[in-house]
Amino acid sequence: MNAGLVILAVIALATLGYFVGRARALAKAGGDIRGLHSLPNYYGQTVFLFTAVPALLVCVGWLLLQPLYVEHRVSDMITPADIAEGSSQSLVMADIRRIATGLDTAVARGALTGADLSSLSADATDVRALLAGVGVALASEVKGSVLAAAKEYRAATATLKMAMSVVVILIALAGFVLSLRRLRPDFRARNVSETAIKALLILASSVAILTTVGIIFSLVFETANFFGLHSAADFFFGLTWNPQFRGGSDLGILPLLWGTLYVSFVALLFAVPIGLLVAIYLSEYASNRVRTIVKPAVEILAGIPTIVYGLFALITVGPLLRDYFAQPLGLGTSSSSVLTAGLVMGVMLIPFVSSLSDDVINAVPQSMRDGSYGLGATQSETVKQVILPAALPGIVGAILLAASRAIGETMIVVMGAGAAAKLSLNPLEAMTTITVKIVSQLTGDTEFASPETLVAFALGLSLFVVTLGLNVLALYIVRKYREQYE
C-alpha cells in the first residue's frame, strides 16, 4: 500500500469519526444539545483530530526517516573496493537507488518474476541491458555487491512501507476508538478544537520563521566555505572586482556595493518626492472620484513585472539618456548607466512610497486637520506643519522599505545599468550591483567549489545583512514614534 493511499484511508476514517462522534455526543446527551458542554460539531471535530493528527504525524515522520534508515543499512554492504576511481560513496548510493527502482519497474512490467529476481546475479545476467530494456539507463556495468545492495534496498523499502501502512492505520484506529470512548456530555470539545486551531496557527507562522532560518544557514555555510578559500580582507576591502576562470581573482565587494547604493540612491531620489507628493494629493486634495481612479492606476505600476521595466530601461530610457544627455555633455557613450537604471527603478518604487505613505497620512486623525484649519491654516500649511510631521515615522518606514526593495532589485539593473563593476561617480557610466553579480557568478561555468562561485553566497549574505539592517531600522523608527502620536 503506498503512502498516498494510507493518508487517504486515515482521512476517510477521520471523516467517518466526525459524523460518528457528533451523533454519539448527541445520543449521550439524550438528544438535547443543551446537555452538552459544546455544540455537537465540536465533538465530531475532536474525534476527527484524534484520529487524523497522530496518525498523519507518524506517517510524515516515518516517510522522512525511512530513506535514512535504509541507506544506512545498505551503505554497510558497500566496501571501499566498490567505489570506482573518481567516484564517491554518494554516487554509488545513487546508482543503488536507480537499480532498485529499475528492478521494481522490471517486475511491474513482467520482464522479471519474483523468482527470477531472487536468483538474479550480476555474473549470470547482464543487469545493465535488462534495466536498459525497461528504460533505466546506467552508466556502468553492475557489480555483484552493488546488485546485492540494490536488492537489499528494495526489500527493506518494501518491508518498511508495509510496516508503515499497518502502524499508521493502527494508530488512526486507536485514536478513533479512544476518542469516541472519551466522549461524555461534559467533555470540553470546544477547548480541544481551540487548541487545535492555535497549533495550526503556530505551525503556519513557524513555516515562515524556519524558512528564514534555513535561508540564513545555507548562506552562512557557503559563505564560510568561501572565506576558507578566499581572504576576507580582499572581499570586504578590495577595490576591484575581477573574477578569473583560472583562479587568483580579485573579488572585492566595494565596487558592487557602491553600484548598488548609487543606483538605489538615484531611484529613491526620484521615487520619494514623487511618491510623497502623490500620496499627499491623494489623501488630502483629491476628491473621492479622482481617488478611486488614480490610486489603483498608481498601484498598477507595482504590478508590472520588473523584467518589463528592464525592457523599458533597455530600449527607451537608456538610448534616450545617451543621445540627449550623455553624448552631448560628453559624459559617456553607454546606453546602460546608473541613471537609466535609477530612473526606471524610481518609477517602479513610486507606488511603494505613495501607497504606504497614503495609508499613513490617512491614519493621521481628522482632529489634527480640524485643529489646524480652525486656527486659520491653509491646506498646504496644514499638510506641511501638522500632517507630515505626524505621519513622518510611517513615511520613513515606507521609504526604508522602498530602499530595501531597491537594493534587492536585479532585472532592472541588469538591463539598465549593465554588468561592469566600477567605482565611479559619473551617473552616466555603466555600473553594476551585488544582485547582478550573484546571478552571473552562479550561472557561470566555473566549478561550484571555487571561490568564484561561492562568492555569490558571501555577496548574498552581505546584501541580506544590509536589507535586514534597513528593515530593522525602519521598524525601530516606526515603533519609537508611533505611540507619541496616538
Partner 1 sequence: MYDAPNLGAKVEQKTNKIEANGVQVYYGDTHAIKDVSVAIESNTVTAFIGPSGCGKSTFLRCLNRMNDTIDICRIEGDIRLDGEDIYDKRVDPVQLRAKVGMVFQKPNPFPKSIYDNIAYGPRIHGLAKSKADLDEIVEKSLRRGAIWNEVKDRLHEPGTGLSGGQQQRLCIARAIATEPEVLLMDEPCSALDPIATAQVEELIDELRAQYSVVIVTHSMQQAARVSQKTAFFHLGHLVEYDNTSTIFTNPRDERTESYITGRIG
Binder among 369, 407, 415, 477 for partner 1 (CB under 8 A) = 369
When asked if residue 377 is in the footprint of partner 1 (CB under 8 A), the reply is: yes
> Smallest Cα–Cα separation from 436: which of 453, 451, 421?
421
Q: Which of 39, 311, 368, 473 binds partner 1 (CB under 8 A)?
A: 368
Task: Tell me phi and psi for residue 432, to 5 degrees.
Answer: -145, 170
Sole window of 253-261, 365-373, 405-413, 439-447 interacting with partner 1 (rule: CB under 8 A) = 365-373
Are 104 and 85 within 8 A, CB to CB? no
Q: What are phi and psi of 132, to 5 degrees?
A: -60, -35
Q: Is 380 in the site for partner 1 (CB under 8 A)?
A: no
**Closer Cβ to partner 1, 234 or 381, answer by number:** 381
Binding mask of the shown chain, residues 282 to 301, with x at each position contacting partner 1 by CB under 8 A: -----xx-------------
Taking the complex as a whole, how short is the minimal distance between the CB of residue 371 and partner 1, in angstroms? 4
* 477 is a contact residue toward partner 1 (CB under 8 A): no
Residue 264 contacts residue 406 (beta carbons within 8 Å): yes
- Compute the least distance from the CB of residue 274 to partner 1, in Å: 25
Least Å from the CB of residue 372 to partner 1: 7
Minimum CB–partner distance for residue 35 and partner 1 (Å): 46
- Residue of 392, 366, 372 lying closest to 480 (CA atoms): 392
Could you tell me which of 367, 423, 417 has the C-alpha nearest to residue 390?
Answer: 367
**Is 371 an interacting residue with respect to partner 1 (CB under 8 A)?**
yes
How far are the Cα atoms of 19, 68, 359 from residue 406, in angstroms, in the given order? 54, 43, 21
User: CA torsion, points 407, 413, 419, 420, in degrees to nearest 10?
Assistant: -70
Q: Choose the binding region for partner 1 from 114-122, 127-135, 377-385, 398-406 (rule: CB under 8 A).
A: 377-385
Instruction: Pick the closer one to partner 1 by CB: 212 or 380.
Output: 380
Cβ atoms < 10 Å from Cβ of 169: 17
Choosing from 79, 119, 205, 367, the residue that interacts with partner 1 (CB under 8 A) is 367
When binding is defined by CB under 8 A, the residue of 389, 396, 419, 423 that contacts partner 1 is 389
Burial pattern 296-315, b for ≥16 Cβ within 10 A else e, equals eebeebeeeebeebbbbbbe
Q: Cβ of residue 471: shortest distance to partner 1, in angstroms? A: 25
Task: Report if residue 280 touches partner 1, rule: CB under 8 A.
Answer: no
Stretch near partner 1 under the rule CB under 8 A, chosen from 16-24, 108-116, 122-130, 381-389: 381-389
3-state SS class at 57: helix
479 binds partner 1 (CB under 8 A): no
Going by the DSSP 8-state scheme, the letter that residue 142 receives in this structure is P
- Number of neighbours of residue 263 by Cβ within 10 angstroms: 32
- Cα–Cα distance for residue pair 14/171, rounded to 1 Å: 12
Total residues interacting with partner 1, rule: CB under 8 A: 22
Rounded CA gap, 204 and 113, in Å? 47
Name which of 205 and 367 has its Cβ closer to partner 1.
367
141 touches partner 1 by CB under 8 A = no
Per CB under 8 A, 365 contacts partner 1? yes
Query: How many C-beta atoms lie closer than 10 Å to residue 102's C-beta?
Result: 26
Q: Which of 86, 110, 303, 376 is close enough to bind partner 1 by CB under 8 A?
A: 376
Single out the segment in contact with partner 1 by CB under 8 A; choices: 122-130, 222-230, 250-258, 378-386. 378-386
The amino acid present at 70, given as its one-letter code, is V
Beta strands of 249-380 (E only): which ranges?
A: 250-251
Candidates 275, 325, 319, 321; CA nearest to 298 is 275
Residue from 374, 425, 443, 445 touching partner 1 (CB under 8 A): that is: 374
Q: Hey, which residues between 213 and 272 contact partner 1 (CB under 8 A)?
A: none
The footprint of partner 1 (CB under 8 A) covers: 287-288, 365, 367-378, 381, 385-386, 389-390, 484-485
